[in-house]
Amino acid sequence: MRVNILKFMQKLRNIAIIAHVDHGKTTLVDKMIMAGNLLREASKTGELVLDNNDLERERGITILSKNVSVIYKDYKINIIDTPGHADFGGEVERVLNMCDGVLLLVDAFEGTMPQTRFVLQKALQIGLKPIVVVNKVDKPNCRPEEVYEMVFDLMFSLEATEEQLDFPVLYGSAKNNWMSKDWRNQTDNLIPLLDAIIEHIPAPEKLEGTPQMLITSLDYSPYTGRIAVGRVHRGTLKKGMNITIAHRDGTMEKTKIKEVHTFEGMARQEAESVSSGDICAVVGLERFEIGDTICDFEAPEALPTIAIDEPTMSMLFTIND
């Protein structure tokens, strides 16, 4: 019985994506989702139906929301956007803590930009495995090899471990829908990147027991109000379940979940339950904040919360001597 349940469980990968603005993040994620959909269709019908109208229709209307997923083979790859800036509120850490790996996307012409340094450093510090994508190698004056060196030097200066420095690198053109291990050897798809994610990013740990989810970000729906988003740390959250919210200030509140959703492609999708390792959106909670834990109704156990400190500044005013 147990074996059967396991067999139908989807395999997961959770990755954060770090990119400087305009380096092609939206384009790449769009194309990854499309690639997953096309491959799935192909496996159903036996042929690859690459319809240009579909491509045109999707192009330009898809905006990268905070969380999306790509279905590839029997994997679901959750892709989590990172803030493109340094912050002092713990937002970067919270987002990165949902992931087991990170995709660093760099323009093959511009190279690494100082603005991504902070987020990359945090990712390396918490031990995430990086994959590097050198994008836009179709550009005439691009310099992919130099850019690879730049990325390596940057990671080295950020004290990446030896294992992190051994990062896989993919070169390609998100715009032209291809990725390859060798930039001179153009392919006609994104499979090398999707395979690299499956191969190099570890699967999330699946913990059994009473449910626990740290609320790491918020979503909003005009119909249902505020939505709590996080990675289910342990156990399973179910639709209609009684739970306790362990607030950051230590108080406990017994309440009930209305719905649980997962991120499927560009959209949220309602589910019966969401289990340890997957990214979950919880609908129908009244009072909660980032840093609270959703936990068991009877035996609540809070997760360590992540500091949310106000930006601070100190100045010293002294006599001018």
For residue 256, give the 3-state DSSP assignment. strand
Q: CA 307 to CA 180: how far, in whole Å? A: 40
For ligand GDP, the binding residues in 60-89 under the rule CB under 6 A are none
Binding to ligand GDP in span 175-194, by CB under 6 A: 175
Number of residues that bind ligand GDP (CB under 6 A): 15
- In the complex with ligand GDP, the residue whose CB is nearer, 86 or 207, is 86
Residue (180 or 244) nearer to ligand GDP, CB: 180
Smaller CB distance to ligand GDP: residue 21 or 307? 21
Dump strand ranges (E) for 209-292.
Answer: 212-214, 217-221, 225-234, 236-238, 242-246, 252-256, 259-264, 267-271, 273-275, 279-283
Looking at the Cβ atoms of 136 and 234, the one nearer to ligand GDP is 136
185 contacts: CB under 8 Å, gap ≥ 6 = none
Contact track, ligand GDP, 101-140, x by CB under 6 A: ----------------------------------xx-xx-
The DSSP bridge pattern shows strands 293-296 and 279-283 to be: unpaired
Q: How near is the Cβ of 26 to ligand GDP at its closest, in Å?
A: 3
What is d(CA 149, CA 124) in angstroms, rounded to the nearest whole number? 17
Residues between 2 and 31 with contacts to ligand GDP, criterion CB under 6 A: 19, 21-27
CB of 157 to ligand GDP, least distance (A): 23
Asked if 35 is part of the footprint of ligand GDP (rule: CB under 6 A), the reply reads no
Nearer to ligand GDP, 146 or 159 (CB): 146
Q: Which residue's CB is nearer to ligand GDP, number 135 or number 262?
A: 135
Distance in Å, CB of 94 to ligand GDP, minimum: 21
Question: Considering only residues 133-172, where is the footprint of ligand GDP by CB under 6 A?
Answer: 135-136, 138-139
What's the closest the beta carbon of residue 136 comes to ligand GDP, in angstroms? 4
Would you say 117 or 139 has its CB closer to ligand GDP?
Answer: 139
Record the tokens describing residue 165, joined without a space: 């420095």
Identify the DSSP state of 207: B
User: Please, are residues 85 and 115 in contact by the beta-carbon 8 Å criterion?
Assistant: yes
**Half-sphere exposure for 30 (CA within 13 Å, toward CB):** 20
CB of 31 to ligand GDP, least distance (A): 9
The total number of residues written for the chain in this structure: 321
Q: Following DSSP, what letter does each residue of 69-114 receive, concatenated?
A: EEEETTEEEEEEE--SS--SSSHHHHHHTT-SEEEEEEETTT---G
- Which residues in this chain contact ligand GDP in the complex, by CB under 6 A? 19, 21-27, 135-136, 138-139, 173-175
